[in-house]
């Protein structure tokens, strides 16, 4: 059984992945920005006995460094799931402020980079040696539909980070993939989205299981369909 660290595990897809991975017998380090408000995750930790909750803000270097220092375990699979979508419209959408750009780029691009950097030693000394970045099909340059500029750009950059990590870490035997979780009914995806968190999490965990040094650098969805980039 694996040890899996999942960022942004207090709600949404991250929470569902933590629940399913714990149910199959994995050990989970589940991060939340504010563990004091992560009631459902705390209940799940009590129920399963397989989840340790840690505080993490992926945009804060001190917080990332503290997580690395607190984590003694080797990490077989690092799931960089925490993400932010804060503006949706076309070019003139007033919500595309400089602050919105900063927040989304720090969360969706710098966040996975900083956590991968500081937890790399934990991944390297594990048997699993995998890093998964949850990106989005909205980051695909082939599917640029002219809206949600900061988010789309951030998710394209997240795939770029994954591809560069895959190249740099290949000689060290660490596999890295980027994933689209589907359009999922969460706070971010909304009630009208296509699939449940359970379906997305089940698919993603299966894709992470399938990730190997042969497939490192992959960008695919929760069903295993490759995404043109």
Ligand X SMILES: NC(=O)c1ccc[n+]([C@@H]2O[C@H](COP(=O)([O-])OP(=O)(O)OC[C@H]3O[C@@H](n4cnc5c(N)ncnc54)[C@H](OP(=O)(O)O)[C@@H]3O)[C@@H](O)[C@H]2O)c1
Q: Could you tell me the smallest distance in angstroms from the CB atom of residue 164 to ligand X? A: 18
Going by C-alpha positions, the residue among 68, 108, 107, 104 that lies closest to residue 86 is 104
104 contacts 154 by C-beta, under 8 angstroms: yes
Helix (H, G, I), strand (E, B) or coil at 37: helix
User: Which position among 3, 27, 71, 81 is part of the footprint of ligand X (CB under 6 A)?
Assistant: 81
Catalytic status, residue 151: yes
Q: Is residue 112 within the footprint of ligand X (CB under 6 A)?
A: no
Q: Which of 88, 149, 151, 222 is catalytic?
A: 151
Cα separation, 5 vs 2, whole angstroms: 10
Write out the binding residues for ligand X, residues 132-151 only, by CB under 6 A.
134, 136
User: What character string, x for contact with ligand X (CB under 6 A) and - otherwise, covers 2-31?
Assistant: -----xx-xxxxx-----------------
Q: Is residue 77 within the footprint of ligand X (CB under 6 A)?
A: no
Segment (H or E) for 42: helix 39-48
Between 3 and 81, name the residue whose CB sits nearer to ligand X: 81
Going by C-alpha positions, the residue among 184, 136, 177, 133 that lies closest to residue 12 is 184
Q: Is residue 187 within the footprint of ligand X (CB under 6 A)?
A: yes
Between 170 and 223, name the residue whose CB sits nearer to ligand X: 223
Between 170 and 226, name the residue whose CB sits nearer to ligand X: 226
66 contacts 54 by C-beta, under 8 angstroms: no
12 contacts 186 by C-beta, under 8 angstroms: yes
Residue 131 dihedral angles phi and psi, to the nearest 5°: -130, 130
31 contacts 78 by C-beta, under 8 angstroms: no
Tokens matching residue 217: 């650098």
Q: Is residue 104 within the footprint of ligand X (CB under 6 A)?
A: no
Q: Could you tell me the smallest distance in angstroms from the CB atom of residue 115 to ligand X? A: 9
Please choose, out of 94-102, 185-193, 202-210, 212-220, the segment that lies near ligand X by the rule CB under 6 A.
Answer: 185-193
Summarize as ranges the residues that interact with ligand X (CB under 6 A): 7-8, 10-14, 33-34, 56-59, 81-85, 107, 134, 136, 180-181, 183-184, 186-189, 193
């Amino acid at each position: 059984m694996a040890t899996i660290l999942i960022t942004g595990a207090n709600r949404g897809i991250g929470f569902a992945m933590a629940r399913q991975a714990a149910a199959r017998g994995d050990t989970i380090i589940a991060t939340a920005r504010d563990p004091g408000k992560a009631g459902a995750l705390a209940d799940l930790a009590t129920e399963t006995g397989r989840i340790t909750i840690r505080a993490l803000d992926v945009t804060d270097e001190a917080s990332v460094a503290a997580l690395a220092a607190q984590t003694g375990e080797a990490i077989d699979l690092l799931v960089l799931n925490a993400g932010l979508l804060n503006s949706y419209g076309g070019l003139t959408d007033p919500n595309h402020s400089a602050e919105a750009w900063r927040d989304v780029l720090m969360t969706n691009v710098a966040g996975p980079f900083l956590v991968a950097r500081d937890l790399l030693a934990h991944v390297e000394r594990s048997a699993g040696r995998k890093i998964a970045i949850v990106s989005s099909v909205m980051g695909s340059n082939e599917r640029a539909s002219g809206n949600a500029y900061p988010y789309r750009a951030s998710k394209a950059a997240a795939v770029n980070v994954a591809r560069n990590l895959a190249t740099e870490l290949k000689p060290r035997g660490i596999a890295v993939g980027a994933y689209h979780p589907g359009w999922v009914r969460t706070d971010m995806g909304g009630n009208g989205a296509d699939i449940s968190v359970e379906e997305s999490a089940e698919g993603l965990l299966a894709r992470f299981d399938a990730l190997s040094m042969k497939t490192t650098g992959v960008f695919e969805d929760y069903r295993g369909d490759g995404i043109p980039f």
